[in-house]
């Protein structure tokens, strides 16, 4: 390990976008305290690993990353969701310097200070941008509007890791969003564990932003974010009745006509076993109403197959739901037990081979729906946001596509564009996942 005049901290960030936001906050505070951020193990004086612990595969990945950091460097502080299970980490890796749980920025800083004191002079404080350190590309950013969750789904341990719902003051969120847009961010991705529950814990308390009193709720937040010069995309929105008030904002193009909803299943029996809302017919009716109000609405969701007790009839109901809902973007996971989840005590586990067979059938149906949906967009024009410019291809996204999880708009050829540019394209072809476009150069 090479010591330097300015202490350097290496950082590994794992998990979902909510964990990415946590990492950005920790890195911002480290920089403000005078630490430099190391690009590799060799140049670091200490390594922080922000872990994920939601499912067993994520636990394994986190433990492996901790082990690699210890092997490559030796001085490691662990934080994040898996940090809530400190005994598991210390059993696997007793040599870690400290373990803190999620939402523990102060504790992480204290652990780093204890093992790598900051310099007396903080050379980077004046260099930090108003929005702090970002881990995403310059042209888009995640904004986390709340912590925790009030649901008690049997397959999920998030409340035990991150606690109940705690909404951020709306003024602070808008200050952050404004600073990001002023710094050049062109897309704001609103995230939380339950975005449509924002403000419920505060009973929609009033806060102030730029002299205006604003109600702390999802509609007011979305409407005010829509005043900024950026795309606004909502993730993790449960289909509650209050979401109805968001759809006119999308129809009026104030925010993107895009909803990411964790529906999880289409069988009432399985949904009840999951402790999820089980009114699938009401969900389908609500989706139909939303599409009437906003025909351009794009719907994304995730589902779980093979939950304990799922019968073939339950699975067929799920396929029927998928066929009728005709969602634009869908992810599907085979159920796997999570340590500490209430679902572990349920009877009638589904065999692994059957889980995978059902998942394959599910994805085959969705692939057909996705192909049809994309093919229907050929011949239209769209505004797209440039993500990457290569020598002979430009990779962009339309408002229908969230970064990293959805499809892309591919533009062939060499073009004088930059990431973050908005351009208009004609959609000329489609594949199973992506669209092909060409810039509109004049009529």
Angle between helices 105-115 and 17-32 (to 10 degrees): 50
DSSP 184: T
Of 422, 421, 425, 401, nearest to 411 by C-alpha is: 425
379: left (phi over 0), alpha (psi -120 to 50) or beta: left
156 is in an annotated binding site: yes
Sequence-separated (6 or more) residues with CB below 8 Å from residue 299: 259, 261, 287, 325, 327, 328, 329
Tokens read off for 4: 């330097």
User: What's the distance, Cα to Cα, between the start and end of the chain in Å?
Assistant: 61
52 is in an annotated binding site: yes
Of 174, 164, 289, 287, nearest to 220 by C-alpha is: 174
Tokens read off for 335: 């159920």
294 is in an annotated binding site: no
Helix (H, G, I), strand (E, B) or coil at 186: coil
Sequence-separated (6 or more) residues with CB below 8 Å from residue 357: none
Which residues are paired to 334 by β-bridges? 305
340: left (phi over 0), alpha (psi -120 to 50) or beta: left
140-144, strands of its sheet edge to edge: 140-144, 187-191, 231-234, 258-264, 298-305, 329-334
16 is in an annotated binding site: yes
Q: DSSP string covering 352-419, please?
A: HHHHHHHHHHHHHHHHHHHHHHHHHHTT-EEEEEEEEE-SSEEEEEETT--TTTS--EEEES-----T
Of 57, 78, 56, nearest to 10 by C-alpha is: 78
Taking residue 52's Cβ as centre, other Cβ atoms within 10 Å add up to 22
Binding-site sequence positions: 16, 52, 81, 149, 153, 156
- Binding site membership for [4Fe-4S] cluster: which residues? 16, 52, 81, 149, 153, 156
């Amino acid at each position: 390990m090479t010591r330097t005049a300015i202490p350097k901290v290496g950082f590994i960030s794992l998990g979902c976008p909510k964990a990415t936001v946590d990492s950005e906050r920790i890195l911002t505070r480290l920089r403000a305290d005078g630490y430099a951020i190391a690009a590799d193990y060799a140049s670091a004086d200490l390594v922080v690993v922000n872990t994920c612990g939601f499912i067993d595969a994520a636990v394994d990945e986190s433990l492996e990353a901790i082990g690699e950091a210890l092997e490559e460097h030796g001085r490691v502080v662990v934080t994040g969701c898996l940090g809530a299970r400190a005994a598991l980490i210390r059993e696997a890796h007793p040599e870690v310097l400290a373990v803190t749980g999620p939402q523990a920025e102060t504790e992480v800083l204290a652990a780093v200070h204890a093992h790598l004191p900051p310099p007396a002079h903080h050379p980077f404080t004046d260099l930090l941008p108003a929005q702090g350190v970002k881990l995403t590309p310059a042209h888009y950013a995640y904004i986390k509007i709340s912590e925790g969750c009030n649901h008690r789904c049997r397959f999920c341990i998030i409340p035990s890791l991150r606690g109940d719902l705690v909404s951020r003051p709306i003024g602070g969120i808008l200050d952050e969003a404004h600073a990001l847009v002023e710094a050049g961010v062109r897309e704001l991705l609103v995230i939380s564990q339950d975005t449509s529950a924002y403000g419920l814990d505060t009973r929609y308390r009033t806060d102030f932003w730029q002299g205006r009193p604003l109600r702390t709720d999802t509609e007011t937040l979305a409407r005010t974010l829509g005043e900024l010069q950026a795309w606004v995309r909502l993730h993790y929105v449960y289909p509650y009745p209050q979401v109805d008030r968001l759809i006119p904002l999308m129809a009026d193009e104030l925010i993107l006509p895009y909803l990411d909803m964790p529906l999880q299943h289409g069988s009432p029996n399985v949904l009840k076993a999951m402790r999820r809302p089980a009114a699938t017919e009401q969900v389908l009716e609500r989706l139909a109403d939303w599409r009437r109000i906003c025909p351009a609405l794009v719907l994304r969701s995730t589902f779980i197959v093979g939950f304990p007790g799922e019968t073939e009839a339950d699975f067929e109901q799920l396929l029927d739901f998928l066929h009728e809902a005709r969602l634009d973007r869908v992810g599907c996971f085979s159920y796997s037990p999570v340590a500490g989840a209430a679902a572990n005590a349920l009877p009638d586990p589904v065999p692994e081979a059957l889980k995978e067979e059902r998942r394959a059938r599910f994805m085959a149906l969705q692939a057909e729906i996705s192909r049809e949906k994309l093919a229907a967009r050929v011949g239209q024009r769209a505004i797209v946001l440039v993500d990457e410019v290569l020598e002979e291809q430009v990779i962009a996204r339309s408002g229908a596509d969230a970064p990293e999880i959805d499809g892309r708009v591919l533009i062939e050829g060499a073009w004088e564009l930059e990431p973050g540019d908005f351009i208009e394209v004609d959609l000329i072809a489609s594949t199973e996942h992506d669209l092909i476009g060409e810039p509109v150069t004049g009529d």
